[in-house]
Structure 1
Amino acid sequence: MNILLTSVGRRSYLVNYFKEALKSLNGKVFAANSIETYALQQADAFTLTPQIYSAEYIDYLINYCKKNKITVLISLFDIDLPILAKNKQRFKDIGVDVIVSDPEVIDICNDKWKTYQFLIQHNIKTPTTYISFSEAVTALQNKELEYPVIIKPRWGMGSIGIYKADNLEELQVLYKKVRNEINGSYLKFESAADADNAILIQECIESDEYGIEVINDLNREYVTTFCKHKIAMRSGETDQAITIENDKLSEVGKSLSKTLRHIAVLDSDCLEKNGDFYVLELNARFGGQYPFSHLAGANIPKQIVDWCTGMKTNQMLTTISANVLCSKDIKPVIIND
């Protein structure tokens, strides 16, 4: 078995996790990205691809898979997911299994307005959200929504374009700022689908942050939920967290699994209000909190490899220990050696 990880960015740890998972099968891990990174060099081989939104992107990946006898492809980046999901059959036709959820699931996760509508529809608590600026202002005037509020991109990633407004003047200024940041970043591509409604105004819940990873098998059946209390964040990604046991968070995870029917890993951020947990967003991929689950005993890369070879779910690979405190580090490296 050979695995191709696309859009690896700086996730060298995932490259190494998958290399370890393939050892017993004598398989190789190939990595792809549009710019050179250290994570690429950790793979057995790597390639630089066209930009994700390039017309040549999928053809390039298909040809690379053929050339290197790739059998499994996994993406590590949100923007990659909808394109791969739509082209899943093309890869299947050449013998490559793309471990990605259905296009409808990816759309719900990437489009935070659809995320909100989905959560409300399935009675999963989430902060009150508006897509209309005027309706949000009216709600604020009627005390149906209170300051501070969060302004964020509808199709957003990391911490790009997320601000807190404490009054109407700030809301007006920051709303324009978010629009400018969307237009000046890669967020403009997905936002082009509805440019006039590309910004959300959301209830601000002052709370510690929590993270869950909802694990489904490749048949979309629920396996487990990993729960964490986030201690520190950096650029919108978990920087330090402690693993916890929490029945309420686990129930949220199970509800998401049963209603969304995703494949493999669903990464979600949650906030706490009056003893209940509110889902903030959904990411249908390995997220920034996964290393903490891995260090606490899980091995989802190995479980995915096992699933792909017809093996059943292994509880040893899908269980974490509680009270494991983990932190990421910054390591300068040379990449042009």
Structure 2
Amino acid sequence: MDKIRALVTGVGGAAGVGVVQSLREKNIFTLGVNCFALTAGFKLAHDFAVVPLAREENFIPVLLDLCKAKKINVLIPTVDEELILCARNREQFQRIGVKVALGETETIAKCLDKWIFFQELKRYDLPVAQTWSARGECSVSKLNFPLIAKPRMGRGGRGIRIFHGPEGLGDFLALGGDYILQEYVEGEEFSVDTLADFYGQGLVAVPRKRIEVKGGVCWKGCTVHNEQISVAALEISEKLGLKGPACMQLKVSKAGEIKFFEINPRMGGTTSLTRAAGVDIPYLTVKLLMEGTVDPAELRFRKTYISRYFADVFFTEDELPQDVEGELGLL
């Protein structure tokens, strides 16, 4: 593993930072990339580069050029908007000796689209929060409240609205936009970090209780041994055909019902807690890519708590890769 050189995207976010920290601890070279120059993760990676946004035409060509220039052999995307693009261009990366830490394009698309995700879980009779498409396929008078309106392809809690009754919902839906409506489950919230091998066999599911959440980010939490959640998460992983890491979200209702409502087919923002508990998902993902197997002992975890705080990194002017004042509109 000492010859592994990994390119990690999105090192301005918690998931990317967590991957870099994990791989550095294992003496794996990391090239951290992000679309902004003023990025904390640049200080944590061995090397860094600014790349275009995923929606820009030169995103994949720039990644390919970086992989060739820096002798990269593993690509780990951590940003939702990049996942389908990187998976779709997997063969281009493979031709230059780079393995992509993602599953199949079709599977990723099913996970990112919350409406399709709901339909898939219903098809397999798996536990999922009741969901409706907001595109004229539901009658407001027949809905149960409270409920949540979410962008069908959203992430990070952006654009979410909670409705405690029908008042205002009709006007909101009339504004347009591709939304789903989902039952609001009263109860404890969990995330589950899962890992499957690259043949689709689920290996481990580590539930994390979200004790304190701010802006969609877990600030306090703990890993828990809950067989019911772990079994359900692994079943979802295998039924959907997930490969590599994923992060699922669910609630356990006051009546004890498990209701999954979201899945990210990539590493989660609090994968660091799972790593501290004993299951180093970023490292194991690389190990699976390069060696095909992991030791069962590496899949065991202990109850561990997390309490987050702000940490500061500083750049001198000559350390930044481009004119950051122009980037931030300070000129």
The TM-score, its normalising length taken from structure 1, stands at 0.87
In the TM superposition, residue 265 of structure 1 has moved relative to its aligned partner by 1.1
Task: State how far apart, in whole Å, the 1-side matches of 2:120 and 2:271 are.
Answer: 24
Task: State how far apart, in whole Å, the 2-side matches of 1:175 and 1:336 are.
Answer: 48
Q: Give 1:20's aligned amino acid.
A: E
Count residues in correspondence: 310
- In the alignment, what sits opposite 2:159? 161
In the TM superposition, residue 13 of structure 1 has moved relative to its aligned partner by 3.2
- Specify every segment of 5 or more residues in structure 2 that has no aligned partner in the other structure, as ranges: 318-331
- Specify every segment of 5 or more residues in structure 1 that has no aligned partner in the other structure, as ranges: 180-195
In the TM superposition, residue 217 of structure 1 has moved relative to its aligned partner by 1.4
Contact 1:3 1:30 in 2 (8 A): yes
Task: State how far apart, in whole Å, the 1-side matches of 2:46 and 2:224 are.
Answer: 35
Superposition RMSD on alpha carbons, in Å?
1.7
1:319 and 2:300 are equivalent in the alignment: yes
After superposition, residues 1-337 of structure 1 pair within 5 angstroms as 1-11=4-14, 12-21=17-26, 23=27, 27-36=28-37, 37-136=39-138, 138=139, 140-142=140-142, 145-175=143-173, 198-273=178-253, 274-310=255-291, 312-322=293-303, 324-336=304-316
Contact 1:99 1:264 in 2 (8 A): yes
Task: State how far apart, in whole Å, the 2-side matches of 1:336 and 1:57 are.
Answer: 27
TM-aligned CA distance change 1:141 to 1:10, over 3 Å:
closer
Task: State how far apart, in whole Å, the 2-side matches of 1:329 and 1:318 are.
Answer: 27
- In the alignment, what sits opposite 1:189? none
Contact 1:302 1:317 in 2 (8 A): no
% identical equivalent positions: 25
Task: State how far apart, in whole Å, the 1-side matches of 2:221 and 2:32 are.
Answer: 27
Contact 1:133 1:201 in 2 (8 A): no
Q: Greater shift after overlay, 127-136 or 158-167?
A: 127-136
Deviations 1:19-60 (A, max 9, x none): 122x2xxx4110111102011221111110111111111011
The TM-score, its normalising length taken from structure 2, stands at 0.89
In the TM superposition, residue 311 of structure 1 has moved relative to its aligned partner by 5.4
Q: Secondary structure at the match of 1:39?
A: helix
Q: Give 1:152's aligned amino acid.
A: K
Contact 1:38 1:335 in 2 (8 A): no
Contact 1:165 1:174 in 2 (8 A): no
